[in-house]
Amino acid sequence: MSIINFIENYKKKKRILYTTPSHSQGDFTAPKSHKLIGAKFFSCDYSEIEGFDNLANPSGMIRAAQEDAAAIYGAKSTFFLTNGSTSGIIAAMYSVLNRNDKVIIARNCHKSVYNGLVLTGAIPIWLMPDYNPEWGIYDSLNLNYLEELLYKNKEVKAVIITNPTYEGVMFDISRISAMCKKYGAVLIVDEAHGALWNFHKAIGIPSLLQGADIVIQSLHKTAGALNPSALLHLGWESNIEPKFVQQSLNLFTTTSPSYPLLLNIEAVITYLASKKGQLYIQNYIKKLNRIIRSLKTIPNLEVYSTNNDITKILVKVTNMSGRELSDIMINKYGIEDELSNEKSVLYLTGIGTSESKLNKLEKALFSICDNNIKLTPEKSKYDILSTLEPRMRYTPAALWGKPYKEVDIQHALARVSMELITDYPPGIPVLLPGEVIKKEHIDYLAETRKKIKVLA
């Protein structure tokens, strides 16, 4: 444990530091911070002083920790990220895409991908996932259509997909990787929600081990790390030079990295790869399998279980919308979900999810279904919106800095959007900068906004 050992040994030296951070390793902490966080967190918070490493050009303890992580994950190179998967996704795009390069993007990608389009100036080609109206989610990718897009656009530089999806749907990455290699495209996978896959194949098969070139994972989402800890991995088969990825990361990463986050990243990875960690994960999976089996026996309750990551518990109740179920669970049982839509509710679990939490979820859902509440499900406007392929009049980069004006949303038909409008969670854009506004967008957004920014 390179970073942890170094900081433990450094603290023993009791150096007198006239450096940042100004709390001086906890000599000052705001009272409420001290009460909620405690002094130990502050005591590990250092700047890049003599003997410490530099995240922008690691050569010491950070480099050693990243090399250890790469060996654990089976990567050519692994990079620690202290400002989330967002920075990794943007850096990945910046490493392989230039202005006017074509890139195939699955329509259900996170908003950070669209920010990457602004910064790279790349031209998106949309891969529309199949939409499942029974659950109100995107599920499968049409891989035949993906190959058709690659065949018709042989100059495509990269393909960007999310695996698993926010709701846990998984794809055949090995087949997608083979297609990308056939047509010379780099495969970038946002695997933010698959951070545990490398430690137990029963949850999912890591994209890195299926031939992906770049994989980004959020350790805080399921693997128990502090928010916003993440990793970027380069695959062994990738032709991308690690130094180019490092240069790209340096454009978007702070020059003041958090050592508490870095040591926590190392500690989480080391523990999960250990024998104790493996046993802990196995126990977690047993708990999940038990509750999923039990939930499937509850009348009027359905659990999504089609090629999905079991850490995501997606449910729906007969004759009840997801929004209504969510409201009842929060207001009556004090159980808050990760995401709800008109059809279903997502309960996101992680390695820290306890048996008692799962039991409370099970009892609450059983009680709701047992009481046989009869409600009229909402008709989802998103069912229509989700099948719309974006009609891009301009790329997001071409619109950056252009003049705009606000108009009444009812008068925005056929105008060009200047806004990235996103339902959050899950962070999948409803409308993109440069996209032509359609009647479906207006109908969907009219209840939540009166005005919209359009190209002047």
Task: Give me the pLDDT at residue 193, please.
Answer: 94
Mean pLDDT computed over 302-308: 85
Dist. CA 389–CA 126, nearest whole Å? 7
Angle of CA points 171, 203, 303, to nearest 5°: 80
Contact 198, 143 (CB under 8 A): no
429 vs 280: which has the higher pLDDT: 280
Task: Give me the pLDDT at residue 375, please.
Answer: 54
Mean pLDDT computed over 70-87: 96
Mean pLDDT (the chain) is 91
Mean pLDDT computed over 367-374: 76
Task: Give me the pLDDT at residue 373, please.
Answer: 58
pLDDT confidence band for 317 (50 / 70 / 90): very high
DSSP string, 204-262: ---GGGGT-SEEEEEHHHHS-PPTT-EEEEE-TT----HHHHHHHHHHHS-SS--HHHH
Task: Give me the pLDDT at residue 44, please.
Answer: 87
Task: Give me the pLDDT at residue 416, please.
Answer: 93
Task: Give me the pLDDT at residue 376, please.
Answer: 55
Task: Give me the pLDDT at residue 380, please.
Answer: 63
pLDDT confidence band for 40 (50 / 70 / 90): confident
Cβ neighbourhood burial of 201 (10 Å; 0-12, 13-18, 19+): exposed
pTM of the full structure: 0.91
Mean pLDDT computed over 82-98: 95
pLDDT(323) > 70: yes
Task: Give me the pLDDT at residue 301, please.
Answer: 94
Scored b (16 or more CB within 10 A) or e, 328-337 reads bbeeeeebeb
Task: Give me the pLDDT at residue 165, please.
Answer: 93
90 vs 419: which has the higher pLDDT: 90
Work out the end-to-end distance of the chain between its first and last CA atoms, rounded to an integer number of angstroms: 55
Task: Give me the pLDDT at residue 378, please.
Answer: 54
Is 308 strand, coil or helix?
strand
Dist. CA 217–CA 190, nearest whole Å? 7
Structural tokens at position 362: 């099970």
Residue partners of 223: CB distance under 8 A and separation at least 6: 195, 196, 199, 217, 268, 272, 350, 351
Alpha helix stretches (DSSP H) within 351-401: 355-370, 382-385, 396-399
Dist. CA 117–CA 103, nearest whole Å? 9
Dist. CA 205–CA 183, nearest whole Å? 24
Task: Give me the pLDDT at residue 229, please.
Answer: 95
Mean pLDDT computed over 177-182: 97
Task: Give me the pLDDT at residue 202, please.
Answer: 85
- Amino acid at site 148: E
Contact 66, 79 (CB under 8 A): yes
pLDDT > 90 fraction of the chain, expressed in percent and rounded: 67
Task: Give me the pLDDT at residue 381, please.
Answer: 64
pLDDT(368) > 70: yes
- Least confident among 101-115, 269-283, 368-382, 393-407: 368-382
Structural tokens at position 375: 């409600």
Angle of CA points 197, 198, 201, to nearest 5°: 60
pLDDT confidence band for 201 (50 / 70 / 90): confident
381 vs 126: which has the higher pLDDT: 126
pLDDT confidence band for 390 (50 / 70 / 90): confident
Mean pLDDT computed over 250-258: 87
Q: What is the pLDDT of residues 93-152, one digit of tens each?
A: 999 999 999 999 999 899 999 999 999 999 999 999 998 989 989 888 999 999 999 999
Mean pLDDT computed over 5-32: 87
DSSP string, 338-365: SEE-SS-EEEE--TT--HHHHHHHHHHH
pLDDT(377) > 80: no
Mean pLDDT computed over 337-348: 93
254 vs 407: which has the higher pLDDT: 407
pLDDT(78) > 70: yes
399 vs 73: which has the higher pLDDT: 73
